[in-house]
Amino acid sequence: MRTMRAVRQTAFGGPEVLELVEIPVPEPGEGEVLIEVSTAGLNFADTHTRENSYVQESHLPLVPGAEVAGVRCDTGERVVAMTGGAGGYAQFAAVRKDRCFPIPEGVDDATALALLIQGLTAWLLYDQAHVRDGESVVVVSGAGGVGSLAVQLGHQFGAGRVIATASTEDKRALCLELGADAATDTSPDGLTDRILRANAGEPVDVVFEMAGGAVFEECLGALAPFGRMIAYGISSKEQNEVRTGKLLRRSLTVTGFWFGHCLDRPGMVAAALEDLYARAAAGRLRVVVGATYPLTEARQAQVDLAARRTQGKLLLDVSR
């Protein structure tokens, strides 16, 4: 029986539940392929999965990790793939064929992984928000994996003004470097007023929000009539309730977006990913790689991610 190194958890909880172990190499089932993983991607959702507090229920024992880059064992082709939410923090992963995509020549693992779940999320946020030419867009956490790509896509998708939020001066500087017209502190105290000032005193048309809690409320307060807000995360772990009267008073739209619902729509995903690769190849999209951790440091990677110490795409090198 072949074995592999993997990060596994047999309980839900803090980073301490993540353990480096030796376990059997998974056997691909019908419609699946086995990938020898070179690099695994980290996403904020991994921290929720670890606690079983995510949209999708988790089951133990669990190998975390929703995305991998590596080589198909049956064809030798370099690919990037979505695991469906678990199985990525390991030297091998069994994935569905329709969630597996070839990596174009000249594209490295970091770029391929950044453009997979996080890049697709950024692309689909604009698609789902129906952003019109000249509209103002706010990207909460604009220096993160999704945010750094959403900031860059703003003007390319027709936005007239892109406003980013970020927690530190360095992160705000990165947002401006990536193409944001303005960047402000993410702190909820006074956030509505700061967003309005960043938009020349006017309310905004679209907000991409992933924090929840007070940040959600402040962003909602900054929306113009017929404004749209897409909530695609709850990093604060503070859920919100929206009253219908508040929506009616300004004809607002609040939408939820969970990338997991895209997994069974490979056609939609493939077309968007092809577009992202083309933009990156043309130099119109820059992937920000924050850090690469060895597999042995998966705990620390999740700690740093949850503590907002990172920016851009985080990776695990499974060979170390």
Given 240, 260, 280, the domain boundary residue is: 260
Same domain, 162 and 244: yes
Task: Provide DSSP, 140-198.
Answer: TTTTBHHHHHHHHHHHHTT-SEEEEEESSHHHHHHHHHTT-SEEEE--STTHHHHHHHH
Residue type, 96: R
Query: Residue 150 class from Cβ within 10 Å (0-12 exposed, 13-18 middle, 19+ buried)?
Result: buried
Specify which of 55-64, 95-104, 201-210 reaches the highest per-range mean pLDDT. 201-210
What distances in angstroms separate CA 9 from CA 62, 93, 107, 230, 295, one per listed residue?
A: 5, 16, 32, 32, 14
Cβ atoms within 10 Å of 149's Cβ, excluding its own: 30
> Does 297 score more than 90 pLDDT?
yes
Letter string b/e over residues 166-186, b meaning 16 or more CB atoms within 10 A of that residue's CB: bbeeebbebbeebbbbbbbbb
pLDDT above 70 covers a percentage of the chain that reads 100
Query: pLDDT of 158-167, one tens digit each?
Result: 999 999 999 9
> What was the pLDDT predicted at 26?
96
- Give the percent of the chain with pLDDT over 90: 84
- Provide the pLDDT for residue 306: 85
Domain end (from 211, 241, 260): 260
pLDDT band of residue 101 (cuts 50, 70, 90) is: very high
With bands split at pLDDT 50, 70 and 90, how would you rate the model's confidence at 290?
confident
Neighbours of 248 (CB within 10 A): 9
Specify the CATH number for the domain of residue 194. Answer: 3.40.50.720
Residues 177-198 have pLDDT tens digits of 999 999 999 999 999 999 999 9
Residue 148, pLDDT > 90, answer: yes
Higher-pLDDT residue of 260 and 149 is 149
Residue 55 has pLDDT above 80, yes or no: no
Based on the fold, state whether residues 230 and 310 are members of the same structural domain: no
In a domain, 269, yes or no: no
CA angle at 224 for the pair 233 and 308, rounded to the nearest 5° = 30
Please give the structure tokens belonging to residue 226. 């017929």
Is 124 found in the same domain as 23? no
67 domain-assigned: yes
pLDDT reading at 78 higher than 90: yes
Q: Note down the domain range covering 233.
A: 118-260
Q: What b/e readout covers 282-300, taking b as 16+ CB neighbours within 10 angstroms?
A: eeebbbbbbbbbebebbbe
Identify the domain boundary among 260, 277, 301: 260
Backbone angles phi and psi of 79, in degrees to 5: -140, 165
Q: What pLDDT was estimated at residue 264?
A: 82
How far is residue 289's CA from residue 266's CA, in Å, rounded to a whole number? 26
**What CA–CA distance (Å, rounded) separates 81 from 273?**
12
71 part of a folded domain: yes
Q: What DSSP state is assigned to residue 43? A: -
Average pLDDT over residues 132-156: 96
pLDDT at 237: 87
* Domain assignment of residue 109, yes or no: no
Within 10 angstroms of residue 54's Cβ, the number of other Cβ atoms is 18
* Same domain membership, residue 124 and residue 70: no
Residues 35 and 98 in one domain: yes
Residue 133 domain flag: yes
Q: Count the Cβ atoms, other than its own, within 10 Å of residue 239.
A: 10
pLDDT (tens digit, 9 = 90+) per residue, 229-272? 999 999 898 999 999 999 999 999 999 999 988 888 877 888 89
Residues 306 and 250: their CA atoms lie apart, in Å, by 34
What CATH number is given to the structural domain containing 293?
3.90.180.10
Other Cβ atoms within 10 Å of 133 Cβ, number:
8
* 235 and 128 fall within a common domain: yes
In a domain, 278, yes or no: no
Q: Check residue 85 and give its pLDDT.
A: 84
Q: Does one domain contain both 129 and 251?
A: yes
In contact, 86 and 54? CB cutoff 8 Å: no
How many Cβ atoms from other residues are within 10 Å of residue 36's Cβ?
A: 16
Q: What is the CA radius of gyration of the chain?
A: 19
pTM: 0.90
Residues composing the chain: 320
Query: 272 lies in a domain?
Result: no
Q: Which pLDDT score, from 0 to 100, does residue 44 have? A: 86
Distance of alpha carbon 155 from alpha carbon 133, whole angstroms: 9
Q: Are residues 122 and 164 in the same domain?
A: yes
What average pLDDT does the structure give for the chain?
94
Residues 145 and 256 in one domain: yes
CA distances from 52 to 59, 216, 317 (A): 8, 23, 25
pLDDT the model gives residue 113: 94
Question: What is the reported pLDDT for 313?
Answer: 87
How many structural domains compose the chain? 2
Q: Does residue 274 lie within any of the structural domains? A: no
